[in-house]
Structure 1
Amino acid sequence: MKVLFASGEAAPFFKTGGLGDVAHALPKELLKQGIDVRVVLPNYSQMPVKYKEQLTELRHFRFQLGYKNVYCGIKTLELEGLTYYFIDNLAYFDRSSIYGQWDDGERFAYFSTAIIEMLEVIDWIPDIIHCNDWHTAMVPVLLVDRYHWKEKLQNIRKVYTIHNIQFQGIYSPDMLTNVFGTSFNTFTEDGTKYFDNMNYMKGGINFSERVTTVSPTYAEEITTATFGEGLESTLQHNSWKLRGIINGIDYTINDPETDPLIPHHFSAKKMAGKVENKLSLQKDLGLPTDRNVAMIGIVSRLTNQKGFQLVEERLEELLQANVQVVLLGTGQANFENSFSYFETKYPDKMRSIIDFDIALAQRIYASSDMFLMPSAFEPCGLSQMISMRYGTLPIVHEVGGLADTVEPYNAFTGEGTGFSFYDFDSWTMLQTIYRALDVYYNQPDAWHGLVRNAMNKDFSWEKPAKMYIDLYQELLDEK
């Protein structure tokens, strides 16, 4: 089975969020399970030098992109046994940032078209092409509409994964003729038409044989008006091909027994290192060193989507309790300023590090007792799984992947891996934090049991990858 995994980003080359993690870890696990999988990415200028130096040029050619005749270079490297292809064009990918450019619609139209044009040039035709988010959503559309006449490409099966439905790629329908070089055949309600515009993601949903998203609960949520972001009717129409497969986390990177980014290693059976990590972090951040105080960690983008309006509303009240709050992240200026203010007001209880720091993030996961993640919506979420891996109990809003991965504490049975709340309001969130604090301070045996439960959960990619392989095989069996 040959699978081409197409993504707008993938760690360790480029990463802005969870998609970068998935596009790194899932193909790696598919390869481990015997799949001939390869990854195709744009060749952004932001690639770290150590990887740029490993690139070799495989081919270069030109193709027609609407009215333009454009250059396409194919560069490649092998990392951890996995083959990566990089679509090279300085005009589109030598930019100040990966996303957020004025011509993103054309940039990723080029990328999607180049992916298909590349296949015959490198003489490797996949059985499955697995596309991700809006950046590659037009690949299935183009295979059906523009390239259907190419015999070598006719049997490629198309899987499309929605990582975040908020970002859809909505542009003028003139893109179809001016950039994609097609007619308006796909500009229909069961194609790419979205009111008076075209919608890349809608096209990906309608023209793929299977649509997946990153948790079973999110798969249900996005068929509703509350979470569907205007595509709920499209997803209802395509519900027969919609699946929710929970993401995993990379266990080779997120391992408290070997993680090089944390000063003290530990395991579910030998927990002393976790306390040492807390004391070390307190010292380095200038907080009072106290092994017994409940440390609440936060590692996130500081946005409304992540629920920080709730945190802002109740932080003053929370900081009256016997807690230390360590926050790491960047985002909306109002939140950055607010949390910095609270650090100034409560220097012995609050640290707000307005930054993106992978090493510090790992230390917070490993040092904290609780991890606060009150997202308004969360397709999957990785932070709650990482925190559990490090024995830090998540406190989450029951949505999407958070509901699928965090088992709420049951005081009667001792079961659970964290704490959760259903109503999205700050009072309910605060009461849930207080409930966690009560268990931490007053029921130490129950707390340690929850920590063991959390650390023993399997959030590796092994099972999710097997589910994707089963889905791929299902498609090939339908031929």
Structure 2
Amino acid sequence: MQKILFATSEVYPLIKTGGLADVSGSLPRALLKLGCDIKILLPAYPGVLEKAASVGLKQIAQLEIDGNAVIIKQTRLPGTKVAVWLVDIAEFSERAGNPYCGPDGNDWYDNHKRFYIFSKAAELIALNQANLDWQPDIVHCNDWQTGLIPALLSLHPDHPATVFTIHNLAYRGLFSHQAFAELNLPQAFWHHERLEFYGQMSFIKGGIAFADYVTTVSPSYAREIQKPEFGYGLDGLLRYRSDSLAGILNGIDNDEWNPGTDAHLVATYNRRTLGNKRKNKQALQEKMGLAVNSEIPLLGFIGRLVDQKGVDLILSQMSRLLTSNYQLVILGSGFPHYEQTLRNIAEQNPHKVAIHLGYDESLAHQIEAGSDIFLMPSIFEPCGLNQMYSLRYGTLPVVHAVGGLRDTVVEHSLDEIANGANGFVFQQPEGDELFAALERATLAYHQPDVWKKLQLNAMSQDFSWQTSAKAYCDIYTELQTK
């Protein structure tokens, strides 16, 4: 039985700001089913402690790290048998709200220290020096918040093997040299082949440089990040690590995202009862104040309102969308100027555009089920989950051909849809290309037999975690036999 310590900064349903939480909530469950002994290591944010209390919470260890008292508490992932170990320090547990930012929207001033202590706790657990009588064979780290863990473990000759997964290379965990000095890290780490990155310290570079194996969340993204366009200054290092770099497509939680059993919907449906999908469209139109009309293509967008997600492309085509026969529902939050612009558009066009700022899990499910077409025009997209949710719900995605979007959405001409077509793809991040793809989607939408075939193609695909989890297990096994 492989023993895995899975270190992450967020896990659904305990804490979520993005797709990392979904992966961290699903992959460990899939690994447990494959026979792994897995423990999730997570910061003890206040909201996490509150939710954990409802399923059971107890202190299992107390550590001292650089003069800081650190409590390790144990709970489990709600609804599962996966153990979760919480790293409790005041810098985590006494700050409400976003895990990474203060109420003003700026990063916490001491993020370097907070996640350094988290990494040190992981180091002690990995070396069986935390009085827990459990030592992992593999330490699986995720994104910049855990990037110091492989670096710290490299200082010990007999450390467990390390895997580092890049979920989004755009977030590199950059801090000043002063921050580096405050952490009392070995001076040897301040080097361009280690943590130093153009005069700053990069946590994510630590994971890439020191981990025994590096993965990312789709095959296409693994290729893209080795090029300057998507490499954020780390493409050279990633090319150097290419022999131990793999892209493994994320899975989705088929229990959580299942139109046949989804309690958030007014009407469940599957491939045999696809007609029930229309009831969800009507309910969504009513709920969001849109004109109730089954003939108008309803577009859905769920995501952060930031540059990466292609919001500018949507806005560039808004006048055409408003003068054409479309409706648009948006769920998300992000940059204030995007929020205000979209709010203004919705107020001026209440029967055509609806926006809900923030995040609402129930509404997300209703948008996936009630929309006809899902917009995902990301400028870059390491994997993406919403396009896979959409495919499962028979809501056909319109996507930019990057990263995991390229790996999951396939477009063919309408006379070749039997060959696995399941959506609509544009090649360049340009507004005109997005609108042209939408027009192709609309042409198909108004041919019911064609549209239904595309929907059935989409809903027939298997994006469960089973295949991906097996790929991770194969990497773990390979590292253990080296």
1:466 aligns with 2:470: yes
1:396 aligns with 2:399: yes
Q: Deviations over 1:362-408 (max 9, x none)?
A: 10100111000100000000000001111100000000110011111
Q: Equivalent residue for 2:431?
A: 426
Q: Deviations over 1:140-196 (max 9, x none)?
A: 100112xx16xxxx14000000001111112234545531x3321222222112122
Q: Equivalent residue for 1:94?
A: 94
Residue among 113, 122, 125 paired with 1:115: 122
Shift of the 177–327 alpha-carbon distance from structure 1 to 2, 3 Å rule, reads closer
> What letter is aligned with 2:436?
Q
1:296 aligns with 2:296: no
> What letter is aligned with 1:448?
K
Whole-Å Cα distance in 2 between the matches of residues 409 and 358 of structure 1?
A: 32
Partners of 2:299 and 2:329 within 8 A in 1: yes
Whole-Å Cα distance in 2 between the matches of residues 285 and 89 of structure 1?
A: 42
Q: Equivalent residue for 2:384?
A: 381
Q: State the Cα distance separating 1:49 from its structure 2 match.
A: 2.6
Q: State the Cα distance separating 1:357 from its structure 2 match.
A: 1.0
Q: Equivalent residue for 1:138?
A: 148
Partners of 1:56 and 1:77 within 8 A in 2: yes
Q: State the Cα distance separating 1:10 from its structure 2 match.
A: 0.7
Q: State the Cα distance separating 1:2 from its structure 2 match.
A: 0.7
Q: Deviations over 1:81-139 (max 9, x none)?
A: 11110011113442133102110011101100011123322121100000000101110
Whole-Å Cα distance in 2 between the matches of residues 50 and 201 of structure 1?
A: 29
> What letter is aligned with 1:117?
L
Q: Equivalent residue for 1:75?
A: 73
Partners of 2:14 and 2:48 within 8 A in 1: yes
Partners of 1:176 and 1:183 within 8 A in 2: no
Q: Equivalent residue for 1:15?
A: 16
Q: Equivalent residue for 2:65?
A: 63
Q: Aligned runs of 1:141-290 on 2, under 5 Å?
A: 141-145=151-155, 148=156, 154-179=158-183, 181-290=184-293
TM-score normalized by the length of structure 1: 0.95
Whole-Å Cα distance in 1 between the matches of residues 350 and 204 of structure 2?
A: 46
User: More deviation in 321-330 or 305-314?
Assistant: 321-330
Whole-Å Cα distance in 2 between the matches of residues 58 and 171 of structure 1?
A: 32
Partners of 2:153 and 2:159 within 8 A in 1: no
Residue among 307, 310, 333 paired with 2:313: 310
SS in structure 1 opposite 2:47? coil
TM-score normalized by the length of structure 2: 0.94
> What letter is aligned with 2:62?
H
Partners of 1:63 and 1:117 within 8 A in 2: no
Q: Percent of pairs identical after alignment?
A: 38
SS in structure 2 opposite 1:331? coil
SS in structure 2 opposite 1:111? helix
Q: State the Cα distance separating 1:222 from its structure 2 match.
A: 0.6
1:344 aligns with 2:347: yes
Q: Equivalent residue for 1:3?
A: 4
Whole-Å Cα distance in 1 between the matches of residues 84 and 32 of structure 2?
A: 12
Partners of 1:209 and 1:241 within 8 A in 2: yes
> What letter is aligned with 1:107?
R
The RMSD of aligned alpha carbons is: 1.4
> What letter is aligned with 1:178?
E
Partners of 2:14 and 2:51 within 8 A in 1: no
> What letter is aligned with 1:59?
A
Partners of 2:221 and 2:403 within 8 A in 1: yes
Unaligned 5+ segments in structure 1 are none
Q: Aligned runs of 1:336-375 on 2, under 5 Å?
A: 336-375=339-378
Residue among 441, 445, 453 paired with 1:440: 445
Partners of 1:312 and 1:335 within 8 A in 2: no
Q: Deviations over 1:189-241 (max 9, x none)?
A: 22112122221111111111110000011111111111011111111111111
> What letter is aligned with 2:50?
V
Q: Equivalent residue for 2:104?
A: none
Residue among 137, 145, 148 paired with 1:127: 137
> What letter is aligned with 1:126?
P
Whole-Å Cα distance in 1 between the matches of residues 48 and 251 of structure 2?
A: 25
Q: Deviations over 1:9-50 (max 9, x none)?
A: 111111110111111100000001111111100111122634
User: More deviation in 48-57 or 274-283?
Assistant: 48-57
Shift of the 12–318 alpha-carbon distance from structure 1 to 2, 3 Å rule, reads same
> What letter is aligned with 1:29?
A
Q: Deviations over 1:40-70 (max 9, x none)?
A: 0011112263422421111113132xxxx11
Partners of 1:419 and 1:432 within 8 A in 2: yes
Q: Deviations over 1:289-313 (max 9, x none)?
A: 2222211111111111100111111
Q: Equivalent residue for 1:47?
A: 48
Whole-Å Cα distance in 2 between the matches of residues 125 and 174 of structure 1?
A: 33
Whole-Å Cα distance in 1 between the matches of residues 410 and 308 of structure 2?
A: 22
Whole-Å Cα distance in 2 between the matches of residues 132 and 231 of structure 1?
A: 17
SS in structure 1 opposite 2:75? strand
> What letter is aligned with 1:75?
K
SS in structure 2 opposite 1:47? helix
Partners of 1:157 and 1:475 within 8 A in 2: yes
SS in structure 1 opposite 2:21? helix
> What letter is aligned with 1:18?
G
Shift of the 50–233 alpha-carbon distance from structure 1 to 2, 3 Å rule, reads closer
Unaligned 5+ segments in structure 2 are 101-106
Q: Deviations over 1:70-89 (max 9, x none)?
A: 10111001341111100111
Shift of the 28–339 alpha-carbon distance from structure 1 to 2, 3 Å rule, reads same
SS in structure 2 opposite 1:189? coil
1:106 aligns with 2:113: yes
> What letter is aligned with 1:8?
S
Q: State the Cα distance separating 1:355 from its structure 2 match.
A: 2.7
Whole-Å Cα distance in 1 between the matches of residues 92 and 99 of structure 2?
A: 10
